[in-house]
Amino acid sequence: MLTNHLGIKVKDIEKVEKFYCENLEFEFEHKYEDEDKILVFLKNENSVLELIHSKNNVYNSVKNGIIDHLAFTVTNIQEYIDKLKRKNVNFITNEITEVDGKLIIFFEGAEGEKIELVQYI
């Protein structure tokens, strides 16, 4: 299992993108947008950041500018889901979602932290 990316909630997505690109050697990878949010993915040699901007404050239930979730790449998402369910792990989302060429699902860590599994399709 590899760390996939770190998601950060932001108010000003352009300002944050510029900061990471100009100061921390990140480069724009791609952008995903739907009716509720804009996601910008930035990549450097070893890391990927997902900047999360809510269009309608849908995702801003907590303070902006904080880490939203930790994500891991897996080769078989269903296998991990089954394993975690056998251990009574609490899932935040009940179904696998297909988005932007990936299968994803969210669950809670030991202290309630949000963790995402990602399988590229």
- The CATH number linked to 104 is 3.30.720
Please answer whether residues 40 and 51 qualify as being in contact, where contact means their C-beta atoms are separated by less than 8 angstroms. yes
Strand pairing of 48-54 and 2-9? Answer: parallel
50 & 106 share domain: no
Q: Where are the beta strands (DSSP E) in the chain?
A: 2-9, 27-33, 37-43, 48-54, 67-73, 97-99, 102-108, 114-120
Tell me, yes or no, whether 58 and 112 share the same domain.
no
Same domain, 13 and 61: yes
Query: Can you give the pLDDT of all 121 residues of the chain as single tens digits?
Result: 888 999 988 888 999 999 899 888 899 999 999 999 999 999 998 889 999 998 887 655 555 557 889 898 999 999 999 999 999 999 999 999 999 999 999 999 877 889 999 999 9
Rounded CA-CA distance 71/114 in Å is 9
**CB 50, CB 100: distance < 8 Å:** no
